[in-house]
Structure 1
Amino acid sequence: MKIFVNEIEREVEKDISVFKIKDIFNKCSDVVVLNGFPIKKDEILKENDRVTLIEKGKKPSMNELESLMIARHTPKVYEKLKVGKIAILGLGGLGSNIAISLARIGVGKLILVDYDVVEPSNLNRQQYFIDDIGKYKTEAMKEHLDKINPFIDVEIHNSYITKENINFLHEVDIIIEAFDDPNCKAEISNFVLLHMREKYLIASSGMAGYYDSNIIVTKKIREKFYICGDFVHEAKEGEGLMAPRVAICANHMANLASKILIDYI
């Protein structure tokens, strides 16, 4: 029968067990993952099962690395993520967290857009480091994503985006609006909804403070348009943006983008 060992198709005898496969292909493996879940007890394999064998503490070759990185994925989703194309407009608290989550799951192409540089007050919620201060956010984030997942295509636009300079959005499947400025949010969102109706648009509203995590939700506003947040607590004087709630909202957006790529496109 056919199974996959570290994402390579193999022909094996029927009723063979996972640990027997481990003995045949990699006696040194410390972690055995079956169909996205690490196992401790032996199991009999079925047709098209996926087994990943990982040796702890050993850095694999680049040829092996990608297959090991996706070992914990649900089977058959990686192929859909790999061909996905997403634009992230704004690389602040939302956008930087979204970019890292989408890179980790292996979305094939990310287009990152921002005009600003990293400054100290960003570090309370954005995915940058002290050494990034003074760098353009696009360039700093690309450096981080290349270290996280070198198998994806990261394109950067270091510019202030307006409806006049967004032709590159026509190539993506999903547009994620992650701006701080409400005027930018409104301008770009309205343009996409009017002139790019074939695109999925994910926006946000309300993630400030340290309010209850569970009031942050994902809502479908209309066909292909979603908003994530609590819809109440916008940033304002006396109510700032903080890492925990911003990251919760960001990952609502990233998770929705994943679902769209896997289930709807």
Structure 2
Amino acid sequence: MKIIDEFSKDGDIIRGKVLLQHIEGLNNNLEFEVVIYPQYPFKHNESETIKFVNKDLVHYNHVMKNGEICIHTLHSSKLKQKLIADFESLRAWVEKYYINKENDSHYEHIVIEEQPFEGVYYSYQFTDVEYFFTKGEFGVINLIPFSTGIYKGKGILNSLVKSFLPYTKGISIDSKWNNFYMNLEAKHYGLFLFLGDVPALYNRFAFSNWLEFKNCIPKEFLDLLNKHRLKSKKNKSTLLPIFFGYNIPNGKIHWISAIVKLNDMPIKAVPVKNDKGIKIKGKWEGQLLNKKITWAITIIGVGAIGSIVAKTLVKCGAKNIDLVDYDLKEPENICRSEYEFINGFCDKTDELVKILNETSPFVKVKYANEEYFSYIKALYKLRKVKSNYENFLNNYDIVFNCSADSDLMYVLDDLELNTDLINLSITNHAKDLVCAFYPNIYRFVQTQFISILDNDVDDLYNPTGCWSPTFKASYNDINLLVQYALKQINFIYQENKPKNNFTLSTTFENNLEIKLTRY
């Protein structure tokens, strides 16, 4: 590797350019613009904060539309070690995808540039049908609006696809939802067109304007679209969703959707996914954390572990909980957490606030300031910022970090805190859980995961998309260990025991056994 443009600061960002050469099989040297963000060597949420960009490589695998190479490397708090790992990852990308032109065994979604339509997001949930679509087939889709929420900070309307009505066949093809959903009224409709082929540039970037569809859409479908346009001529604001179906390698069908205003045709991409009263005494003053039940608690990271912790605390009587997470809840990742399908696409914190309020009429639950957690990795060494962050966390009596974010773990351990900070992490397949108390969190957790526990990172779950793989585990696997850990934490507080770190490990020799190891 050779530096061809010296690295220099551009505001808070560092920019430079490198040349990759002398790699076996590489006939032409490759230039990459390098962009380093202030959080480096830490990630920003789950995104790497070093970018390698070459817009001429956009047609290769794992390259974003702006030419950014898609890489994911392991956590390291050491700058030199992380730089070496990231440049080695770039070299590995060149060898695997540029030189050898390899294809991944798991399917990845095409990239859709999601946008709100007139300030609102729309999502549509599909499931299987007993029908074989043929190329060029089109018709009407019946839609059930079933929930609203907040998605990326804006409103979202979630709908289910109830049935397909092919234009010339006079039949209704029902989706395989259960009776609860199928008995709901279909109040809206859309049009569908089964393309067969993927409507995407390089099979990765979804078409974003009508001209890209010009060789895909038959005249008969355009005639149908025009017929609906003429019907709605008096109402210029009539919205019509259009769904384009295509085959994917495993024999299944995927759909993407676009919203059009019938008298104005821009495409906007959308994501395709009680009279007695309740007495407080006895019923809602639970035993968990005993007399500390009125403590102010915040939970950082409300995925599988965090959402289970939050709901358990509320069911056991916690009354003041703040939630922190930047992520979105999608219907396909609800099976191991406390989220619900009926709420559709939405921000995790928005839905969990709703769920916790529905769980207890006495809890005060809200979002904490997520901005602290987004930018602290870049700014935590600045004395004033660090002090503000410490004061923010010290307003709570207990902080649960369930984020599985090693970078954030490192930063939190470096703060001067008066609050009780508890970190909960699990290994792949949820064979083990690690509970660590501040100020001995980061090093302890890293040692457990790297040197002591059996954490098989070669067998992670690859989601349908180009992002970091995640652990394999069911709701039962995770909940078993989280509930055991909360019971042990409760015991520590109730009996005023030393806050020693511990691990929980499961074995299945003759029967299920859970071993608790204190440190």
Q: What TM-score range do you get, normalising by the shorter chain? A: 0.5 to 0.7
CA distance in 2, matches of 1:156, 1:109: 11
TM-score, normalised to structure 2, is 0.33
Query: Which amino acid counterpart does residue 478 of structure 2 have in structure 1?
Result: V
Q: Does 1:136 align with 2:347?
A: yes
Q: Matches of residues 186-205 of structure 1 in structure 2 within 5 Å? A: 186-205=406-425
Please identify, of 233-242 and 127-136, the stretch whose mean Cα deviation from structure 2 is larger: 233-242
In structure 2, list runs of 5 or more residues that go unmatched: 1-273, 380-387, 462-470, 498-519
Structure 2 counterpart of 1:155, from 345, 366, 371: 366
How big is each residue's C-alpha offset from its partner over 1:151-197, in whole Å with a ceiling of 9 and x where there is no partner?
122121373623258553221122211114xxxx2232222222133
CA distance in 2, matches of 1:100, 1:179: 16
**Is the CA contact (8 Å cut-off) linking 1:124 and 1:242 kept in structure 2?**
yes
Q: Does 1:254 align with 2:476?
A: no
Give the corresponding residue for 1:68.
282
Query: Which amino acid counterpart does residue 474 of structure 2 have in structure 1?
Result: M
Structure with greater Cα Rg? 2
Query: Which amino acid counterpart does residue 233 of structure 1 have in structure 2?
Result: N
**Is the CA contact (8 Å cut-off) linking 1:87 and 1:110 kept in structure 2?**
yes
**Is the CA contact (8 Å cut-off) linking 1:94 and 1:249 kept in structure 2?**
no
Q: Matches of residues 53-92 of structure 1 in structure 2 within 5 Å? A: 60-62=276-278, 64=279, 66-70=280-284, 73=287, 78=290, 80-92=291-303
Task: Indicate how the Cα distance of structure 1 residues 114 and 178 shifts in structure 2: closer, same or farther if over 3 A, else same.
Answer: same
**Is the CA contact (8 Å cut-off) linking 2:402 and 2:425 kept in structure 1?**
no
Structure 2 counterpart of 1:115, from 319, 326, 329: 326
**Is the CA contact (8 Å cut-off) linking 1:202 and 1:253 kept in structure 2?**
no
CA distance in 2, matches of 1:248, 1:208: 14
**Is the CA contact (8 Å cut-off) linking 2:297 and 2:322 kept in structure 1?**
yes
**Is the CA contact (8 Å cut-off) linking 1:205 and 1:232 kept in structure 2?**
no
Note the C-alpha offset of 1:241: 3.0
Q: Which one has the bigger helix percentage?
A: 1
Tell me how large the CA RMSD over aligned residues is: 3.5
Give the SS at the match of 1:86. strand
How big is each residue's C-alpha offset from its partner over 1:190-241, in whole Å with a ceiling of 9 and x where there is no partner?
2222213322222233343264xxxx35555676758699943366535623
Give the corresponding residue for 1:36.
none
TM-score, normalised to structure 1, is 0.60
Please identify, of 199-208 and 170-179, the stretch whose mean Cα deviation from structure 2 is larger: 199-208
**Is the CA contact (8 Å cut-off) linking 2:326 and 2:370 kept in structure 1?**
yes
CA distance in 2, matches of 1:196, 1:156: 23
Give the corresponding residue for 2:476.
244
Q: Does 1:177 align with 2:401?
A: yes
Give the corresponding residue for 1:206.
426
**Is the CA contact (8 Å cut-off) linking 2:430 and 2:477 kept in structure 1?**
yes
Give the corresponding residue for 2:454.
232
Sequence identity (%): 19
CA distance in 2, matches of 1:234, 1:110: 34
Task: Indicate how the Cα distance of structure 1 residues 70 and 150 shifts in structure 2: closer, same or farther if over 3 A, else same.
Answer: closer
Give the corresponding residue for 1:125.
336
Query: Which amino acid counterpart does residue 169 of structure 1 have in structure 2?
Result: L
In structure 1, list runs of 5 or more residues that go unmatched: 1-57
CA distance in 2, matches of 1:92, 1:125: 9
Task: Indicate how the Cα distance of structure 1 residues 146 and 260 shifts in structure 2: closer, same or farther if over 3 A, else same.
Answer: farther
**Is the CA contact (8 Å cut-off) linking 2:394 and 2:417 kept in structure 1?**
no
Query: Which amino acid counterpart does residue 206 of structure 1 have in structure 2?
Result: I
Give the corresponding residue for 1:168.
392
Note the C-alpha offset of 1:113: 0.7
Give the SS at the match of 2:394. helix
Give the corresponding residue for 1:146.
357
CA distance in 2, matches of 1:113, 1:192: 14
Note the C-alpha offset of 1:104: 0.9
**Is the CA contact (8 Å cut-off) linking 1:205 and 1:231 kept in structure 2?**
no
Query: Which amino acid counterpart does residue 203 of structure 1 have in structure 2?
Result: N
Higher relative contact order (Cα pairs below 8 Å, separated by 6+ residues): 1
**Is the CA contact (8 Å cut-off) linking 2:425 and 2:435 kept in structure 1?**
no
Give the SS at the match of 1:143. helix
CA distance in 2, matches of 1:196, 1:259: 26
Q: Does 1:95 align with 2:319?
A: no
Query: Which amino acid counterpart does residue 328 of structure 2 have in structure 1?
Result: V
**Is the CA contact (8 Å cut-off) linking 1:173 and 1:200 kept in structure 2?**
yes
Task: Indicate how the Cα distance of structure 1 residues 138 and 217 shifts in structure 2: closer, same or farther if over 3 A, else same.
Answer: closer
Query: Which amino acid counterpart does residue 392 of structure 2 have in structure 1?
Result: F
